[in-house]
A and B are shown apart, each in its own frame.
Chain A
């Protein structure tokens, strides 16, 4: 059964550095999402992406964040200048098409900002 994959599984970075988190959604899916979960807190929506553009973003998703689908398979989340409070688990999810509501999640990338 196809799955969403994410790399790396754990990323450690210094404050102020740029990081790129990578996701490979399920191949015939059209809608893509990023969520994050700070340790001990709830999973929070960051951004949704469809047809090569952001369709919705949360207040968390400020100018430090960007998403891209550089080719037909990858979906990336970039944090330009990481802060300590960006430390969290980042989940990618994908959904097939307009008529379906089920999102499939990747295993997550644990980002640690020192």
Chain B
């Protein structure tokens, strides 16, 4: 079974402060990990994928297979980063269906 855990429901930081969103997963196999973001009144959109190892909007996430984690980090949060963030997992052998975490609402205060 595949499972994604985001322990923090709400996260509030000041502008310019670092932000880290935690994500842990369980999957028997080699998972693909993603972070999706949903800004207010907008659709879910892909923020980044572990396989591409890129930084988007200053965010990075490293897959740690030993700790089964895929935490999302940004060194200096901006007000426009306020949104709902979902960690998600998929596996190649199940048509890439996504299993989502519960989501973390991030509020960046001025």
Residues of B within 8 A of A22 (CB): none
Scoring A44, A91, A93, A103 by chain B CB atoms within 10 A of each residue's CB, the highest score goes to A103
A3-B86 Cα distance, complex, nearest whole Å: 20
Q: Known A106-B43, A107-B43; judge A101-B51 contact (CB<8 A).
A: yes
Docked-complex contact B100 and A44, CB < 8 angstroms: yes
CB proximity of B103 to chain A, nearest CB, Å = 7
A35-B100 Cα distance, complex, nearest whole Å: 10
Question: Interface range on chain B: under 10, 10 to 19, 20 to 34, or 35 or more?
Answer: 20 to 34
Q: Which residue of A lies closest to B46 (CB)?
A: A102
User: Which of A12-20, A48-56, A66-74, A80-88 makes up part of the contact surface?
Assistant: A48-56
CB proximity of A50 to chain B, nearest CB, Å = 7
Q: Known A42-B102, A42-B103, A105-B44; judge A48-B97 contact (CB<8 A).
A: yes
